[in-house]
Chain A
Amino acid sequence: MSNHARPRPLLVTLRSLGGNQLAIAVAAIIALFLFGEIISPGFLSFGHLMSVLRLSVFLGIVALGQCLVVMAGGEGIDLSVGSVLSLGVCVSSSLLLGKDSNIPAALLASLGAGFAIGMVNGAGISYVGIPPLIMTLAMASVVEGLSLIYTGGYPKGSAPPLLEALGSGRILDIPNILVLWVVIIIAATIILFRKRWGAVLFGVGANSLTAELSGINVKRFRMFVYGISGAISGLAGFFVLGYTGTPYLNLGAPYLMTSIAAVAIGGNSLAGGSGSYVGAAIGCILLTTLSSILVALKTTESIRQIVYGSLVFLIVVAYTRRRQD
């Protein structure tokens, strides 16, 4: 294993933003788009490209929370992101009721609810010692139930014009939410690689005992990371509502597995301690593009599930292979 002597722009990371793996992912995206153009002309048009990117944003935001949880190590994973997103949708819409003036309240509520749920996850994982997989899996059921209870089965309300503009609107043909995502990506990258919090995170993920001996309260830190992931998922729900306009139950379900896949594709070791959000973001675009192709092929749900699953399977297996070389 060689170590590159080229100067790295970032201070405390291991590999700069993923290297080869990401190049392949980007190549795959381009290949998919070309393929899409062949089977469905107009696929490669600017408008459609923007649509696909817009769709990626929501997954991308969810993937940020997942990314942080994975980076924090300790076999971190958050299987509740999907249901928290759904809850975020329901909570937001019921508070917004189509009025712009309600936006602050709705935003705070979805962030707050998500954060609270995340903290419960974090507490159970850090302090009670319940493995993340099962804690968040069980919590997912709880939150799903919460959504049902809260809405009584019929989610009410709708998105106000301003939020819809954010979710579905464009500036100069570029979706607003995409601009927001770019901002988020930049901010996340700065925090991860330039700020103390990010450096601490990578250490905690790489070796929690060493981090503890360096003065970090690892349990508390990890708990907050789960809290943040929850808040981010809640926020994603808020934005998704802006896209759909009206709320539905279980809007978050498809985001769970894809967020994990995106994080893995993005070069983040599922053991934590290394990786980047940029990689995960590219992973999100790849997966959304794939999804878009499947839709363009007018496949039934069954075929879509099979293709999607097979591709994620191949990617995961191939990437691990690569790691071992």
Chain B
Amino acid sequence: MSNANFTLRAGEVCGLVGANGSGKTTFARIVSGLLMPDGGELRLYDQPVNLRSHLDAELYRLAMVHQNLSLVPEMTIWENIVLGREQTGPFAFLDNRAAIIQAEGALDIISAKIPVRERAKNISPDEKQLVEIGKALAKDPRILILDEPTASLDFHQVESLFRAIRRLKEKGVSIIFISHRLWEVAKICDRLVAFRNGETVGELDFTSQPRDAKLIIPLITGQEVREKIKKRSNVRELEITNQAARGPALEMRGVSLEGKLHQVSFTLRRGEILGLGGLQGQGQEEILMILAGYLKGYTGEVLVKGRPLSLRNTRRAIREGIALIPGDRHKEGLFLEHTVLSNLLYPKIAMHQGSILLPTARYQQLAEEAVEAVSLIPPNPRLIVSQLSGGNQQKVVVGKWLALSPDVLLLNDPTKGVDVGTRQNLYTIISQLAEKGTSVVLYASDNEELIDNCDRVLIVFERRIVKEIGADDLNEEKLVVSSLNIEHSSEKSAGIHEGNGT
């Protein structure tokens, strides 16, 4: 970060946008006291301050909601919310009753209906995010920093959060809203600041300009807005129909998994990009995990290229040409302390039959090809993965399957927390693969992505597939309505539009 300027006015919501590595998180960490700046000045309430720790920041009633969830899994939600600030009564004994009341109050502000006595490990990721927000709100802050607060939230929850933000504004709380989701920024922020390469490069004031997400993009990328080319076209549809003669790539018939999936059936045509939509945690991940051979114990049939198979383990699935890009790249997709090379080649090595000596030159070459194919920056296979930016890390996760030329690519929310540039990169790769004949199943929590990239979208709701939306019908409203499994009616849609308000 080299020359960042930022002003937050009282009672306003100011957005902060920028690509991965542009300095947003660094900025948030400096303001919240986690990091010390080398130069420049930080002023809170018009007084210069010197924050030595985040506890100092809290003394100024500044609270931050982190991007990475930081809840203690075994502790209950109320214990998590008051963690570190527990009130004590006589004899310095903990006052649990006060804590529970405080926790319930905090969650009330964002209308999160989560039982506070539940353990943190038992709630879903979106609920965890809400608890994190509740934790910050419980500190009764005057300045609130939200770093990617909506990453795991569905439409409903985002609306609740926005309502809460508006209420907080009325109370005089000032908010910094850091997000990749530009349309959300456009919706809720009064102003925004854009960072690029550690510097402030522009501002937008929504009181004087239309709330159009497209206006933001050039600030971030420094380039003119490219008209988004609809990836779907009649040509593609024709292609896919031609391929259909060869039979479907994948089929699920009546697949059920105790408590997670119920009678899921669908067909994946060759060369198509099939989207899985719907609210989070409805079973989409489980569908992908079953196809990847990771989840066992399901009933029903899975057919690969027309042959019924029992995908008992991941090896089997990979041998059938199925590759999974997992959702949580840190936990599921990478060896953080290993080199890019080591990561990129692992599946190839793992699937290799026999234990012959590895010819270094050949693997070197394969690695370099993969690095190029995903446009890794910097293109050095000897780098250690933990040092790459989030977007580039995700490229490694995708790249390692390219060497195996999969027939079916499964994507579990691949662009969560990834910047606009990398996102476009990844989807270019995916559509290229689709054109070459790879079939793709894409689960994205971001409706825009589904609209932009899929040929068809299946909506999953409460363990079932409830709707199929074809290419012609694909739009935000349709997706949202189907996700909530509401029958399309004019009153209901009017109600939704109100929240959607432009």
- Counting chain B residues whose Cβ lies within 8 A of the other chain, the interface size class is 35 or more
List chain B positions with a Cβ less than 8 A from chain A: 292, 294, 313-315, 317-319, 324, 326, 331-339, 341-342, 345-347, 349-352, 354-358, 360, 363, 382-384, 387, 400
Q: How far is the CB of B362 from chain A (nearest CB, A)?
A: 11
Give the CA-CA distance A193 to B274 in the complex, in Å: 40
Contacts of B383 in A (CB 8 A): 3
- Shortest Cβ distance from A10 into B: residue: B360
Contact among B346, B354, B356, B363 with A211 in the assembled complex (CB-CB below 8 Å) = B346
Q: How far is the CB of A18 from chain B (nearest CB, A)?
A: 14
Contacts of A195 in B (CB 8 A): 355-358
- Shortest Cβ distance from B397 into A: residue: A210
**Cβ–Cβ contact B313 & A217, under 8 A:** yes
State whether the Cβ of A48 lies closer than 8 Å to any Cβ in chain B.
no
Give the CA-CA distance A12 to B350 in the complex, in Å: 12
What is the number of contacts between chain A and chain B, taking CB atoms within 8 Å?
109
Contact among A200, A203, A209 with B332 in the assembled complex (CB-CB below 8 Å) = A209
State whether the Cβ of A141 lies closer than 8 Å to any Cβ in chain B.
no
Q: How far is the CB of B401 from chain A (nearest CB, A)?
A: 9
**Cβ–Cβ contact B363 & A11, under 8 A:** yes
Give the CA-CA distance A210 to B319 in the complex, in Å: 17
Proximity bits, A175-204, B CB within 8 Å = 1, else 0: 000000000000000000011110110110
State whether the Cβ of A306 lies closer than 8 Å to any Cβ in chain B.
no
Q: How far is the CB of B393 from chain A (nearest CB, A)?
A: 12
Contact among A207, A212, A274 with B334 in the assembled complex (CB-CB below 8 Å) = A207
Give the CA-CA distance A206 to B319 in the complex, in Å: 23
**Cβ–Cβ contact A213 & B357, under 8 A:** no
Q: How far is the CB of B377 from chain A (nearest CB, A)?
A: 15
Proximity bits, A269-306, B CB within 8 Å = 1, else 0: 00001100000000000000000000000000000000
Contacts of A5 in B (CB 8 A): 382
**Cβ–Cβ contact B341 & A11, under 8 A:** yes
- Shortest Cβ distance from B317 into A: residue: A215
Chain A residues 212-234 with CB under 8 Å of chain B are: 212-217
Contact among B294, B347, B349 with A12 in the assembled complex (CB-CB below 8 Å) = B349
Of B349, B384, B387, chain A has the most CB atoms within 10 Å of the CB of: B349
Give the CA-CA distance A206 to B318 in the complex, in Å: 21
User: Could you name 16 residue pairs across A and B whose Cβ atoms are closer than 8 Å?
Assistant: A3-B383, A12-B338, A12-B349, A12-B358, A14-B337, A14-B384, A195-B356, A203-B338, A203-B350, A206-B336, A207-B331, A210-B332, A212-B314, A213-B326, A214-B400, A274-B338
Contacts of A212 in B (CB 8 A): 294, 314
Q: How far is the CB of A193 from chain B (nearest CB, A)?
A: 9
Considering only CB atoms and an 8 Å cut-off, how many residues of chain A contact the other chain? 29
Q: How far is the CB of B457 from chain A (nearest CB, A)?
A: 25
- Shortest Cβ distance from A195 into B: residue: B355
Q: How far is the CB of B435 from chain A (nearest CB, A)?
A: 26
Contacts of B384 in A (CB 8 A): 3, 14
- Shortest Cβ distance from A191 into B: residue: B355
**Cβ–Cβ contact B326 & A14, under 8 A:** no
Give the CA-CA distance A210 to B325 in the complex, in Å: 10
Give the CA-CA distance A1 to B387 in the complex, in Å: 9
Of B294, B337, B352, B384, chain A has the most CB atoms within 10 Å of the CB of: B337
**Cβ–Cβ contact B350 & A214, under 8 A:** yes
State whether the Cβ of A13 lies closer than 8 Å to any Cβ in chain B.
yes
**Cβ–Cβ contact A11 & B387, under 8 A:** no
Contact among A194, A196, A200, A209 with B331 in the assembled complex (CB-CB below 8 Å) = A209
**Cβ–Cβ contact A215 & B345, under 8 A:** no
Give the CA-CA distance A58 to B152 in the complex, in Å: 54
**Cβ–Cβ contact A197 & B341, under 8 A:** no
Contacts of B338 in A (CB 8 A): 12-14, 202-203, 206, 273-274
- Shortest Cβ distance from A9 into B: residue: B360
- Shortest Cβ distance from B342 into A: residue: A12
Nearest 4 CB-CB pairs, A to B?
A206-B335, A215-B315, A214-B347, A215-B318
Give the CA-CA distance A210 to B334 in the complex, in Å: 6
**Cβ–Cβ contact A199 & B337, under 8 A:** no
Give the CA-CA distance A183 to B341 in the complex, in Å: 29
- Shortest Cβ distance from B337 into A: residue: A14
Contacts of B332 in A (CB 8 A): 207, 209-210, 213
Q: How far is the CB of B315 from chain A (nearest CB, A)?
A: 4
**Cβ–Cβ contact A210 & B292, under 8 A:** no
Contacts of B318 in A (CB 8 A): 214-215
**Cβ–Cβ contact B315 & A216, under 8 A:** yes
- Shortest Cβ distance from B315 into A: residue: A215
Given contact pairs A195-B358, A206-B335, A273-B337, A215 touches B351 in the complex (Cβ within 8 A) = yes
Contacts of A14 in B (CB 8 A): 337-339, 342, 384
**Cβ–Cβ contact A213 & B324, under 8 A:** yes
List 10 extra interface pairs beyond A207-B334, A274-B338, CB under 8 A. Answer: A3-B387, A11-B363, A14-B337, A194-B358, A206-B336, A207-B331, A207-B332, A207-B336, A210-B335, A273-B335
**Cβ–Cβ contact A8 & B355, under 8 A:** no
Chain A residues 242-275 with CB under 8 Å of chain B are: 273-274
Give the CA-CA distance A12 to B385 in the complex, in Å: 13
Q: How far is the CB of B293 from chain A (nearest CB, A)?
A: 8
**Cβ–Cβ contact B337 & A210, under 8 A:** no
Q: How far is the CB of B245 from chain A (nearest CB, A)?
A: 31
Q: How far is the CB of A134 from chain B (nearest CB, A)?
A: 20
Contacts of B335 in A (CB 8 A): 202-203, 206-207, 210, 273
Of B294, B314, B351, B387, chain A has the most CB atoms within 10 Å of the CB of: B314
Q: How far is the CB of B122 from chain A (nearest CB, A)?
A: 20
- Shortest Cβ distance from A5 into B: residue: B382
Give the CA-CA distance A211 to B350 in the complex, in Å: 8
**Cβ–Cβ contact A200 & B333, under 8 A:** no
Given contact pairs A202-B342, A207-B334, A11 touches B347 in the complex (Cβ within 8 A) = no
Given contact pairs A14-B339, A214-B347, A199 touches B294 in the complex (Cβ within 8 A) = no
Q: How far is the CB of A104 from chain B (nearest CB, A)?
A: 25
Give the CA-CA distance A200 to B358 in the complex, in Å: 12
**Cβ–Cβ contact B345 & A12, under 8 A:** yes
Contacts of A215 in B (CB 8 A): 314-315, 317-319, 347, 350-351
Contacts of B357 in A (CB 8 A): 194-195
**Cβ–Cβ contact A210 & B382, under 8 A:** no
Q: How far is the CB of B364 from chain A (nearest CB, A)?
A: 8
Q: How far is the CB of A149 from chain B (nearest CB, A)?
A: 38
**Cβ–Cβ contact B341 & A203, under 8 A:** no
Proximity bits, A1-38, B CB within 8 Å = 1, else 0: 10101001001111000000000000000000000000
Give the CA-CA distance A214 to B334 in the complex, in Å: 10
Given contact pairs A11-B358, A194-B358, A213 touches B294 in the complex (Cβ within 8 A) = yes
**Cβ–Cβ contact B333 & A210, under 8 A:** yes
Give the CA-CA distance A291 to B125 in the complex, in Å: 53
